[in-house]
């Protein structure tokens, strides 16, 4: 059963699993750092260890899942093997939630499970995969034995089963079982629970058992031997094994006594996949129901020879959005009229050829994850061929009819899979006043400058794809705006932070990083000569691993308004007196929310702090404001127990008060049930001043208008929500803008509050309408007033179910 590492990596492409890894969310994401430009304390989220991901491909785990028969592509029309559920696999091929030690434990809270693996006569066995699986959370950690047969797997305190998978040598796969011969059993129910407390667990020594062989030869029509054909025992007696044919076409499986069905897969796509069937031509059938049971009693079973059949080819090419060819993409034609399941892998040039019998097929394309102890990273979405382009909804796929010849030109452009979110303690990575971030001195007009975000003391890993943070301007000598993005742009076509002179102002951002982990800022003023200082605080990051948090967008709704008592708090906040409210409409499993915090009716300048716990004397701020200015800032904030948040008003002295409003726009959960994030280079999709986005002319009072978002600026049709920047300009009165997935002439929440004569922006994370649109409403004090609106998109969310193998 020799399996080369490159071959195992190819097999990894069939892994249709999404691990649900739990990472606690902190209190700041879409902009809850202070708006003061001076180094005042920033909102500190609940401490979360920074994830350090392994870049080693998950060849061992993929081998294990295949050995267990727990890859959905292996099942054909047969039911999921019951024992796969114990490994966290569902009938949809997804991994159960919580498949890693708690992210709240530190490095010092991990302990080693150690032992030695031997074979017949006490022979020390190397390269045996050892998996330590949580009794409650599924798979946790794995390692291969060293040359002396030893292993050491780090896990957190808990209860585990230890399993062994011997791919290269002729021993049975099974479990540590202290009461069995050699402390080894092939029966999952006989596995001994290993309790890890506050120290290492040693002496988990096993002697792997031996079984019987199933042997045979795989040939093509005419008798030529076929190499690298996958052979696996399909589930029957709770034991599954896997092998590949050698250069002479022979294979050997090692199994205990039992009854098995043999499946054959040609990943090159040259021959049909199918089963051993003694009564069929060439002892081969493509139908699982025609497979002949192979009974293994007390001796080897030989002569399980098959001659693989041929059919017709479906051919095409798979590329990325930039045209680059994609290799190692799994291609699977699915037929609603038969139980045939064909498979092939794309070559390095992106081409593929998969063999099928005559029929009508939906062709699915899946990328595989690169996995380590901390989760898997998924580069592309799973989806289907559509004559109009790549789609993730099978119901929108174009059927491919195969009759009496090959079908060519089935080409797709795969979409990126997106990222999950990781909060960090807010970190200042740029301050041009003192040279933080290696940029010293103010920005000048139309001169982009770049600074490093990943690495160093920022806690942002090199593999981050985007960051959340707060962009602040101070010391500006004129009005203007700042643009921030992944590429240096002297003449940006969108803006991030608009400001007048003499107003220290900030805006939350969610922005893509460059490939080298940098960001670029441009100051744009009405003329040459003016300058502006800039500050950037990072509050979290996204990456392509699946152990972060995922997002659920909501139609914006008002969760707190102290003017009316909405949310259970009535009357203004007073100085340094924290008050707590509960968010209705957010599920109990939510760990954080996105929303908009607004101040109004303040009797002095000051700031508001929002967080998961009551704090009369906060050391950070969320929303800074002057007197007489209704002002809002987008936030992402961790929830307290029972879905609560707390707000504190801080003023220069006792006596002043302020009313507070909070509108919730979405929430995060620490599982894979929500959406993944795909960052984009900021792009303008709406500008009513010039008709960009299809809306020309200002908004009138209480008159909602919609514009298209999907299909523009790289936002696909299957996006569920977007991040972006909403800007108001040319307003003829004070008022506010509302943005949401559906038209509301009389909205009950707001996103951007503004006075007269102040170009102002605020970040948003907002759900899209079912047709991929957004709607904006301007609300002013009376009819006759109007306002121009601009929307720049910075990224989008995709459903997590589209990641990996669909």
**pLDDT at site 237:** 58
56-207 CATH: 2.60.40.10
CB-based contact 308:286 (threshold 8 Å): no
CB-based contact 712:786 (threshold 8 Å): no
Which range, 235-239, 292-296, 319-323, 714-718, has the best average confidence (pLDDT)? 292-296
In the block, tokens 């716990």 appear at: 613
44 pLDDT tier (thresholds 50, 70, 90): very low
**92-138 confidence digits (pLDDT tens):** 333 322 223 332 233 446 889 999 999 988 999 998 989 888 766 44
CB-based contact 78:234 (threshold 8 Å): yes
**745-763 confidence digits (pLDDT tens):** 999 888 999 999 999 999 9
Look at the alpha carbons of 12, 18, 19, 25 in this order and tell me if their dihedral is positive or negative.
Answer: positive
CB-based contact 190:197 (threshold 8 Å): no
Q: Is the pLDDT of residue 696 over 60?
A: yes
Angle (nearest 5°) at CA 553 between 719 and 770: 45
Q: Is the pLDDT of residue 58 over 90?
A: no
Tokens coding 786 = 């109007």
Tokens coding 576 = 């340094």
**pLDDT at site 442:** 97
Considering the chain, what is the average pLDDT of its residues? Answer: 81
369 pLDDT tier (thresholds 50, 70, 90): low
- Considering the domain delimited by 675-806, tell me its CATH architecture: Sandwich (2.60)
What DSSP designation does 328 have? S
User: How many Å apart are CA 658 and CA 228, to the nearest integer?
Assistant: 72
CB-based contact 637:522 (threshold 8 Å): no
**715-739 confidence digits (pLDDT tens):** 988 899 999 999 999 999 999 999 9
- Domain ranges in the chain are 56-207, 312-372+382-413, 417-545, 550-669, 675-806
**258-277 confidence digits (pLDDT tens):** 899 999 988 888 899 899 99
Which has more pLDDT, 144 or 576? Answer: 576
Structural class in CATH, domain 312-372+382-413? mainly beta
Q: Is the pLDDT of residue 56 over 70?
A: no
% of the chain exceeding 90 in pLDDT = 47
- What secondary structure, in 3-state letters, does 757-791 show? CCCEEEEEEEECCCCCEEEEEEECCCCCCEEEEEE
- Considering the domain delimited by 550-669, tell me its CATH architecture: Sandwich (2.60)
Asked, colleague to colleague, whether 56-207 and 417-545 share their fold, the answer is: no
Which has more pLDDT, 513 or 321? Answer: 513
In degrees and rounded to multiples of 5, residue 24 shows phi and psi of: -65, 135
* Strand bridging mode 631-638 / 592-600: antiparallel
611 pLDDT tier (thresholds 50, 70, 90): confident
User: How many Å apart are CA 260 and CA 242, to the nearest integer?
Assistant: 12
417-545 CATH: 2.60.120
**303-317 confidence digits (pLDDT tens):** 999 999 998 999 999
Q: Supply the pTM of this predicted model.
A: 0.67
User: How many Å apart are CA 422 and CA 49, to the nearest integer?
Assistant: 10
Task: Name which of 17-26, 58-67, 530-539, 618-627 the model is least confident about.
Answer: 17-26
User: How many Å apart are CA 453 and CA 436, to the nearest integer?
Assistant: 11
**169-217 confidence digits (pLDDT tens):** 689 988 999 999 999 998 888 899 999 988 999 999 999 999 899 999 9
**pLDDT at site 622:** 77
Find the mean pLDDT for residues 624-630: 87
Count the Cβ atoms, other than its own, within 10 Å of residue 386. 16
Tokens coding 606 = 């000051």
């Amino acid at each position: 059963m020799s399996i080369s590492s490159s071959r195992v990596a190819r097999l990894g492409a069939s892994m249709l699993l999404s691990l649900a890894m739990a990472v606690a969310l902190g209190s700041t994401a879409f902009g809850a750092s202070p708006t003061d430009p001076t180094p005042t304390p920033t909102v500190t989220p609940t401490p979360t260890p920074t994830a350090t991901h392994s870049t080693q491909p998950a060849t061992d785990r993929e081998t294990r899942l295949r050995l267990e028969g727990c890859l959905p592509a292996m099942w054909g029309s047969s039911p999921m093997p019951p024992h796969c559920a114990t490994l966290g696999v569902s009938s949809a091929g997804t991994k159960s939630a919580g498949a890693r030690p708690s992210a709240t434990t530190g490095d010092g809270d991990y302990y080693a499970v150690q032992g030695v693996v031997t074979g017949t006569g006490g022979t020390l066995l190397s390269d045996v995969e050892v998996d330590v699986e949580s009794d409650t959370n599924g798979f946790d950690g794995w390692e291969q034995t060293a040359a002396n047969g030893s292993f050491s797997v780090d896990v957190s305190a808990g209860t585990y089963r230890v399993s062994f998978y011997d791919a290269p040598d002729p021993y049975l796969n099974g479990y540590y079982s202290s009461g069995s011969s050699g402390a080894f059993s092939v029966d999952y129910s006989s596995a001994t629970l290993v309790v890890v407390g506050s120290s290492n667990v040693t002496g988990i020594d096993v002697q792997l058992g031996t079984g019987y062989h199933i042997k045979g030869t795989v040939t093509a029509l005419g008798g030529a031997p076929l190499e690298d054909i996958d052979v696996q025992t399909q589930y029957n007696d709770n034991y599954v094994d896997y092998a590949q044919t050698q250069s002479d076409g022979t294979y050997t499986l090692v199994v205990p006594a039992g009854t098995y069905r043999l499946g054959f897969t040609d990943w090159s796509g040259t021959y049909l996949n199918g089963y051993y069937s003694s009564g069929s031509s060439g002892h081969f059938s493509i139908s699982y129901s025609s497979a002949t049971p192979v009974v293994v009693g007390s001796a080897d079973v030989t002569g399980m020879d098959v001659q693989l059949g041929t059919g017709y080819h479906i051919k095409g090419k798979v590329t990325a959005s930039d045209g680059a060819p994609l290799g190692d993409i799994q291609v699977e034609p699915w037929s609603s009229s038969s139980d045939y399941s064909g498979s092939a892998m794309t070559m390095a040039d992106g081409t593929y050829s998969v063999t099928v019998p005559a029929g009508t097929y939906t062709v699915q394309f899946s990328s595989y994850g690169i996995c380590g102890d901390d989760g898997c990273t998924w580069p592309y979405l799973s989806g289907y061929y559509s004559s109009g382009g790549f789609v993730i909804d099978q119901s929108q796929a174009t059927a491919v009819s195969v009759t009496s010849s090959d079908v060519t030109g089935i080409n797709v452009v795969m979409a990126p899979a997106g990222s999950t979110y990781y909060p960090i303690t807010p970190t200042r990575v740029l301050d041009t006043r003192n040279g933080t971030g290696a940029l010293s001195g103010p920005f000048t007009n139309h001169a982009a400058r770049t600074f490093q975000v990943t690495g160093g003391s920022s806690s942002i890993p090199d593999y981050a794809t985007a960051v959340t943070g707060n962009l602040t301007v101070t010391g500006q000598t004129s009005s203007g705006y700042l643009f921030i993005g992944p590429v240096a742009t002297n003449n940006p076509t969108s803006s991030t932070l608009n400001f007048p002179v003499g107003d220290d102002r900030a805006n939350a951002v969610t922005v893509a990083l460059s490939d080298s982990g940098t960001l670029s800022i441009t100051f744009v003023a009405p003329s040459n000569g003016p300058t502006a200082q800039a500050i950037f605080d990072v509050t979290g990051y996204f990456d392509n691993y699946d152990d972060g948090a995922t997002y659920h967008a909501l139609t914006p709704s008002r969760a707190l308004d102290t003017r009316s008592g909405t949310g259970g708090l009535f009357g203004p906040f007073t100085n340094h007196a924290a008050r707590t409210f509960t968010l209705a409409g957010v599920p109990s499993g939510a760990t954080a929310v996105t929303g908009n915090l607004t101040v109004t009716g303040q009797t002095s300048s000051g700031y508001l702090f929002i967080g998961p716990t009551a704090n009369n004397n906060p050391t950070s701020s969320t929303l800074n404001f002057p007197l007489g200015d209704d002002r809002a800032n987008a936030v992402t904030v961790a929830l307290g127990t029972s879905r609560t948040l707390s707000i504190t008003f801080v003023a220069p002295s006792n006596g002043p008060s302020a009313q507070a409003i909070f509108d919730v726009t979405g929430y995060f959960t620490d599982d894979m049930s929500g959406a993944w994030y795909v960052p984009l280079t900021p792009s303008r999709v709406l500008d009513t001043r010039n008709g960009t986005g299809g809306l020309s002319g200002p908004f009138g009072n209480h008159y909602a208008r919609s514009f298209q978002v999907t299909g523009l600026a790289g936002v696909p049709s299957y996006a569920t929500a977007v991040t972006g920047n909403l800007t108001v300009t040319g307003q003829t009165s004070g008022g506010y803008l509302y943005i949401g997935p559906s038209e509301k002439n009389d909205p009950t929440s707001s996103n951007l509050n503004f006075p007269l004569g102040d170009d102002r922006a605020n970040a948003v994370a907002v759900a899209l309408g079912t047709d991929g649109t957004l709607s904006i409403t301007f609300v002013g004090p009376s009819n006759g007033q109007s306002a121009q609106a601009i929307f720049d998109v910075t990224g989008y969310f995709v459903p997590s179910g589209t990641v990996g193998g669909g």
